[in-house]
Amino acid sequence: MTAASQVPPQQGLGEASRAYQAAVDDFDRELAHHLGVNETDLRCLEILVQELPEASPSQLADRLGLTTGSTTALLDRLERAGYLARQPHPTDRRKSIVRATPEFQKTAFSLMAPLVDEGHQMIADAFTADQIAVITDFLRRATELQQRHVRQLRALPRLRSGERAGSPAAR
């Protein structure tokens, strides 16, 4: 019996999931560094490119868990960098719509394409269609779990700088 076979399947899955998340975090950090933005800015751009081709600042604030003031500063930075554009809302002149610029989308796709292409090929070469369906189901469920716990964390009172979890002041 090998050492790997002595690890309970759930523990192996947990370790593999943690390692995968760390690798994704590392890639995102390097991508943000390459683009000259911070990781929250990158997440905003990711939302605009992959999830919401156009969004209001309040939608982005909600998705990112930021205040409106922090979101305005973030959008100002990304607009100055040429990564996004704000336009008036078509029916409500008090609102604006935010979109990733075509130039940014082209840059993002050129940086991400090698990873995406290699990933698709690796999956197609290693797994059957039924196995890919199981993996997809796992990822969807894991995503829902993470999103649920993000909402729970956002509902908790924030620790102030210098406080430690579990200290009387943090309760």
Dump pLDDT digits (tens) for 100-149: 999 999 999 999 999 999 999 999 899 999 999 999 999 999 999 999 99
The C-alpha angle 28, 152, 43, rounded to 5 degrees, equals: 20
Q: Look at residue 79 and tell me if it is in a domain.
A: yes
What is the number of structural domains in the chain? 1
**pTM assigned to the model:** 0.81
170 pLDDT exceeds 60? no
Residue with tokens 């964390």: 153
- pLDDT at position 56: 94
Q: Look at residue 10 and tell me if it is in a domain.
A: no
Q: Look at residue 81 and tell me if it is in a domain.
A: yes
pLDDT per position as a tens digit, 5-49? 677 777 888 899 999 999 999 999 999 999 999 999 999 999 999
Q: 41: domain CATH number?
A: 1.10.10.10
50 pLDDT exceeds 90? yes
Six-digit token string for 86:
């704000």
96 pLDDT exceeds 70? yes
What does the buried/exposed string (b/e) look like for 59-84 if buried means 16 or more CB atoms within 10 Å of the residue's CB?
ebbeebebeeeebeebbebbeeeebb
> Which domain range does residue 141 map to?
27-156
